[in-house]
Structure 1
Amino acid sequence: MGRWFAVVGTAFTLAFVVGIVLTAMLIEQVHAARPRPEVEVHLSRLYVALVVLLVLLLAAGVVLFLVVRYVVLKPIASLAEQVRRVAAGDFDHRPSVEQPAELAELSGHVDAMRERILAAWRNAEDQAAELRRSNGELEQFAYVASHDLQEPLRKIASFTQMLDQRYGDRLDERAKQYIHYAVDGARRMQLLINDLLDFSRVGRVSGGRTPVDAGEALSAALDNLSATLEDAGASVTAGPLPRVLGNRLQLTQLFQNLVENAVKFRADDPPRVRIEAVRRDGMWEFACSDNGIGIEGKYADRIFLIFQRLHPRDVYPGTGIGLALCRKIVDYHGGRLWLDDDAPGPGATFRWTLPAAGDPAPSEDGEDA
């Protein structure tokens, strides 16, 4: 603003000085023509008036510059410096400018915004402290669940089975059925506790995120499922899989849950699972397709909710946590997981994205199981 003011003022001053100089030259030319004495007197007065006008103009320019400098530019610079101080982290400083009134009002608005940001920041700190406390309680619950809760369940299942073995010949079919229900309930409770523990650990595991070979994570998952795949006569094939930025243990768990679901919800034909990955917008998009019973599009969101089941437990066993756990793992890695209800062919296709590790393209070697 000061530079533009100086440029415009200088331009106007130069134009006025040029006009005065031209006028003075004309007056000198008139003097050279030796006009009548009274004309010379008027010309001299005109010359003096032009000089006085030039001095007044210069004085007015200096005064105007000082007014703009100290009434406008200096308060603006002061306010800008105070705002930079607050932006640098001194949130307790209150920006304040007394004059002019417009800048005083602006400084008041800036200070009100600072107060709101400071209140929100302190509220966020309180929430973070509460979240840390809640996480501590969750970790304590996880410890209790993994030890104190599972031990009684193991005893219930163990002693109920011993009861059946020792007194089975004295029990009728109804009593044996009751024993079966007790053992099955204890085992399902153990499975539910383990799944809840896995769900609660996502985002709290040690190790952080590092470059991980997705192919190695898939191989580890298939090794864990080797008995299940062999019993079902299932085959799992994979295209070239890249290196991604993530946690290897959780990515293994992600592949394991998706492949296990594909085998569990199979149709009459032997399960066939295909896993692929393509690069899209700086992320790797994975796809897991199967030839199973499929999922209707209207359930595309419901299946990712915890404890949500589409089938009775006696038809397809499970706790209803698997897909919720998969989505939580993908969310923790900064990607997203969804059901591709437009995929061609039978079965279901799940797609998810993971951040690229910034390494070379994946190899052309696939996986078969």
Structure 2
Amino acid sequence: MSINPLPPPREPTGLGRLPVARWFLIMGLVAGVVLLAGIVIAMMFGSRARALARAPGVAEQLDQLNMVLIVLFAVMLAFGIALAFIIRFAVLKPIDQLAQQVRTVAAGDFDHTLHVDRPAELAVLSSHVDSMRRRIVSAWRMADDQAEELRRSNGELEQFAYVASHDLQEPLRKIASFTQMLEQRYGSELDERAKQYIHYAVDGAKRMQLLINDLLDFSRVSRVTGGKTTVDTGKTLDTALDNLSATIEDTEATVTRDELPAIRGNRVQLTQLFQNLVENAIKFRSEASPRIHIGATRSGDMWEFSCSDNGIGVESKYADRIFLIFQRLHPRDVYPGTGIGLALCRKIVEYHGGQLWLDGDAEGRGATFRWTLPAAGDDDA
């Protein structure tokens, strides 16, 4: 298995910039120079003592002392050479092997085994690191398999929702139309309770059609074929407001805006996004005439949009629930709808690589929704 390599390691600072081998070499040279200097100084003092000594036995003892120092130097030299070989082959070389193996893994080959035979401490360390590598690789593979299975399952669910909701349209039309025909043809023979039952059946069929249409819109978000282009969000807002012109006129709503930018996205879906948010602000209005403001500010590679209104607002404890599909906070007879509008808006924004949330810290009455969308590149603009 080979995946993206890890980022390069940070450069060492201070004394840590020198490799261990250079530290051993420097310390060995210093120790050798000190030992050699000590022997030379001892021989110099011996020569001076021999010149000052009168007894013949003193010179002989000094010669023996010099011989002992020479032998001691030779033994220390041999010991130092042996220690250097031991450090080189028992410590430095295994460390270099382990470092090379770690670099191979860090470069992206996560199946590469980490193992050194000596010394015992490095062998234990390498086994622990390799065990950690195996667990990480196993968890990564499991997560990758689960993500693939989730993508497949989501695709099948979207396909099922699309096909099922599409195929249910015609039976519902027949139920509604034939029930209405039944009332028209035999209305004079039916009592009030039978007419009420017919009304319930027709109303239920129409509401089911609304739910199915919303479900179709929801399933189409990730199935669009138009692709993404550079979109002027000001024009998409104009289109959304034209679609809502009758509602805006009836409610005497006022919609203001900042200068809206060009972003990278799907024109149809962005129009639906603005239309749903503005329509939502008008629907949940207070006693005063709706006042809605659409804002936009640049934040790095993204544009942060906002939709603020002076309506009834949303309590912060429902900030997550309102984005769930078919979730409603109010009875259907008070505020009509299927409860899918904000869920559809969030799916559209996430499809474009952004985020949608309720701003619980916004000032004033009403609700403020914020969302991010990727800015159009210079080439696209």
Same fold? TM cut 0.5: yes
Which residue number corresponds to residue 97 of structure 1?
A: 116
Measured against aligned partners, the alpha-carbon deviations of 1:97-149 in whole angstroms (never above 9, x if no partner) come to 22222122112212222221232233224323422431342233133224211
The SS at the match of 1:2 is helix
Which of residues 237, 240, 250 in structure 2 aligns to 1:221?
Answer: 240
Which residue number corresponds to residue 295 of structure 2?
A: 276
Which residue number corresponds to residue 37 of structure 1?
A: 56
Could you tell me how far 1:34 is from its partner in structure 2?
A: 6.9
Whether 1:193 aligns to 2:205 is: no
Stretch of structure 1 that moved more, 293-302 or 13-22: 293-302
Which residue number corresponds to residue 60 of structure 1?
A: 79
Which residue number corresponds to residue 251 of structure 1?
A: 270
Q: 1:247 to 1:221 in 2, by over 3 A?
A: same
Which residue number corresponds to residue 321 of structure 2?
A: 302
Could you tell me how far 1:152 is from its partner in structure 2?
A: 0.9
The SS at the match of 2:326 is coil
AA at the equivalent of 2:66: Y
The SS at the match of 1:318 is coil
Which residue number corresponds to residue 32 of structure 2?
A: 13
Q: In 2, distance between residues paired with 1:151 and 1:358?
A: 44
Which of residues 232, 235, 253 in structure 2 aligns to 1:234?
Answer: 253
Q: In 2, distance between residues paired with 1:16 and 1:246?
A: 77
For the Cα contact (< 8 Å) 1:239–1:277, is it kept in 2?
A: yes
AA at the equivalent of 2:260: L
Count of residue pairs brought into register by the alignment: 361
The SS at the match of 1:289 is strand
Q: In 1, distance between residues paired with 2:108 and 2:51?
A: 73
Q: In 2, distance between residues paired with 1:232 and 1:162?
A: 35
Q: In 2, distance between residues paired with 1:96 and 1:15?
A: 39
For the Cα contact (< 8 Å) 2:166–2:216, is it kept in 1?
A: no
Q: In 2, distance between residues paired with 1:306 and 1:143?
A: 15
AA at the equivalent of 2:307: C
The SS at the match of 1:292 is coil
For the Cα contact (< 8 Å) 1:335–1:352, is it kept in 2?
A: yes
Q: In 1, distance between residues paired with 2:82 and 2:179?
A: 102
Which residue number corresponds to residue 8 of structure 2?
A: none
Greater relative CO (CA pairs within 8 A, separation 6+):
1
Q: In 2, distance between residues paired with 1:248 and 1:137?
A: 26
**What are the equivalent positions in structure 2 for 1:1-369 lying under 5 Å apart?**
1-31=20-50, 35-168=54-187, 171-206=190-225, 212-280=231-299, 283-357=302-376
Which residue number corresponds to residue 365 of structure 1?
A: none
The SS at the match of 1:236 is strand
Q: In 2, distance between residues paired with 1:14 and 1:302?
A: 77
Q: 1:252 to 1:45 in 2, by over 3 A?
A: farther
Stretch of structure 1 that moved more, 318-327 or 29-38: 29-38
Q: In 1, distance between residues paired with 2:156 and 2:76?
A: 78
The SS at the match of 1:308 is coil
Could you tell me how far 1:274 is from its partner in structure 2?
A: 0.6
Stretch of structure 1 that moved more, 182-191 or 193-202: 193-202
Gaps of 5+ in 2: 1-19
Q: 1:224 to 1:35 in 2, by over 3 A?
A: farther
For the Cα contact (< 8 Å) 2:172–2:205, is it kept in 1?
A: yes
The SS at the match of 1:273 is strand
For the Cα contact (< 8 Å) 1:244–1:355, is it kept in 2?
A: yes
For the Cα contact (< 8 Å) 1:265–1:293, is it kept in 2?
A: yes
The SS at the match of 2:138 is helix
AA at the equivalent of 1:50: L
Measured against aligned partners, the alpha-carbon deviations of 1:257-287 in whole angstroms (never above 9, x if no partner) come to 1111011112333322111122346643322
Gaps of 5+ in 1: 363-369
For the Cα contact (< 8 Å) 2:301–2:374, is it kept in 1?
A: yes
Q: Percent identity?
A: 68
Could you tell me how far 1:203 is from its partner in structure 2?
A: 4.2
For the Cα contact (< 8 Å) 2:252–2:289, is it kept in 1?
A: yes
For the Cα contact (< 8 Å) 1:243–1:359, is it kept in 2?
A: no
The SS at the match of 2:286 is coil
Q: RMSD of the alignment, in Å? A: 2.9
AA at the equivalent of 1:112: S
Q: In 2, distance between residues paired with 1:14 and 1:358?
A: 66
